[in-house]
């Protein structure tokens, strides 16, 4: 199972997090309950069967690379690949472990390149990444100088993927917890930066989601919000009748103007749009590490500017604001 001892020790030393540290072990136990996740024994076997390799180097600043090709032989690298496939599908990345390229569904490094210029300085800061998946951006934030990064995601498989990576760098101050934002105590006022990337369109009440995020921030801290959008010319929002790009639980795909309204209504200061980009099949696609359907299967086969349901194809935008 993932080891959170160092994180809990740190939280007990932070006045704003001490109360949460008391309840967090029970939250983690519920989030990683075998009653909820019947496949979890198999995911645990992956962690148990990972080969012992000592990394000669770590790079989280320019990529996510753990170790070097020379740190193990081809047979060990093949064993590593086979073992990590037990956590398929790998959606966020890419990662490089001892020369093994984990070519994930998403080129999350592209999103990082769009995001990074707009981040407030993170050096020596404390960061919360809400809906972090397997922690790719958490590791990049640490590589940018953050002192402590906590990611939360309710999917236990993502937590195990991150734990497999951290097996080879156990001392880094980065953790991924099996929680959603609803499990974080109200009004923590604990983090310098809070990210919510690809979450808000799954929320029935987007303004309340922004309020929850702001509650995690220290006064003056930065909120980073990334979301699907539709162009303002389409209208204020797209409300899918059933699915959007085959995704369930997409309650609203907002226009940029509506996102700015949500941020203002929740009390965020100086909300602004800093980046928008059409999602391409180069950024999201099926790979050897993610065999299921991906973007090409979600779009109209005749008109790639539309989803298979006939809606505008995915475009994503990044917004920032302060508390």
The neighbour count for residue 90, using CB atoms within 10 Å, is 26
Contacts of 226 (CB under 8 A, 6+ apart): 111, 115, 195, 196, 197, 198, 316, 317, 318, 319
Run of H or E residues at 128: strand 126-130
Residues of the chain predicted below pLDDT 50: none
* Cβ–Cβ < 8 Å for 128, 143: no
In angstroms, the CA 223 to CA 171 distance is 27
* Structure confidence at residue 48 (pLDDT): 97
For residue range 42-95, list pLDDT tens digits in order: 999 999 999 999 999 999 999 999 999 999 999 999 999 999 999 999 999 999
* Structure confidence at residue 1 (pLDDT): 85
Positive or negative CA dihedral for 116, 59, 193, 232? positive
The strands making up 148-152's β-sheet, listed across from edge to edge, are 174-177, 148-152, 126-130, 191-197, 217-229, 315-322, 269-278
Q: What percent of the chain has pLDDT over 70?
A: 100
* Structure confidence at residue 171 (pLDDT): 97
Return the DSSP state at 39. T
* Cβ–Cβ < 8 Å for 54, 76: no
* Structure confidence at residue 156 (pLDDT): 97
Return the DSSP state at 321. E
* Structure confidence at residue 276 (pLDDT): 98
Q: Which two tokens stand for residue 292?
A: 């299921």
Contacts of 135 (CB under 8 A, 6+ apart): 92, 129, 151, 158, 161, 162, 165, 174, 176
* Cβ–Cβ < 8 Å for 231, 312: yes
Global confidence as pTM: 0.97
* Structure confidence at residue 296 (pLDDT): 97
* Structure confidence at residue 99 (pLDDT): 98
Strands 174-177 and 253-254, how do they pair? unpaired
């Amino acid at each position: 199972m993932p080891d959170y001892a160092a994180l809990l020790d740190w939280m007990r030393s932070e006045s704003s997090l001490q109360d949460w540290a008391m309840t967090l072990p029970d939250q983690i136990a519920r989030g990683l309950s075998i009653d909820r996740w019947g496949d979890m024994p198999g995911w645990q076997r992956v962690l148990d069967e990972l080969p012992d390799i000592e990394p000669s180097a770590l790079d989280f600043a320019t990529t996510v690379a753990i170790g070097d090709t020379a740190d193990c032989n081809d047979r060990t690298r093949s064993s590593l690949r086979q073992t990590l496939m037990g956590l398929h599908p790998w959606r966020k990345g890419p990662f490089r472990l001892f020369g093994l390229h984990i070519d994930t569904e998403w080129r999350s490094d592209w999103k990082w390149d769009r995001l990074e210029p707009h981040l407030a300085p993170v050096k020596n800061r404390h960061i919360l990444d809400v809906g972090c998946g397997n922690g790719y951006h958490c590791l990049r934030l640490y590589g940018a100088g953050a002192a402590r990064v906590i990611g939360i995601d309710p999917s236990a498989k993502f937590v195990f993927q991150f734990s497999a990576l951290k097996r080879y760098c156990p001392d880094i101050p980065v953790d991924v917890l099996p929680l959603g934002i609803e499990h974080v105590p109200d009004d923590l006022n604990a983090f310098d930066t809070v990210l919510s990337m690809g979450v808000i369109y799954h929320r029935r009440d987007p303004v309340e989601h922004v309020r929850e995020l702001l509650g995690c921030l220290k006064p003056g801290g930065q909120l980073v919000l990334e979301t699907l959008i539709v162009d303002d010319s389409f209208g204020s929002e797209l409300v899918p009748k059933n699915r959007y790009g085959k995704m369930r639980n997409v309650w609203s795909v907002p226009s940029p103007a509506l996102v700015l309204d949500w941020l203002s209504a929740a009390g965020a200061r100086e909300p602004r749009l800093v980046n928008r980009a059409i999602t391409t099949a180069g950024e999201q696609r099926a790979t050897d590490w993610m065999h299921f359907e991906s973007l090409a299967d979600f779009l109209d086969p005749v008109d790639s500017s539309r989803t298979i349901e006939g809606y505008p194809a995915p475009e994503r935008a990044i917004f920032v604001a302060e508390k």
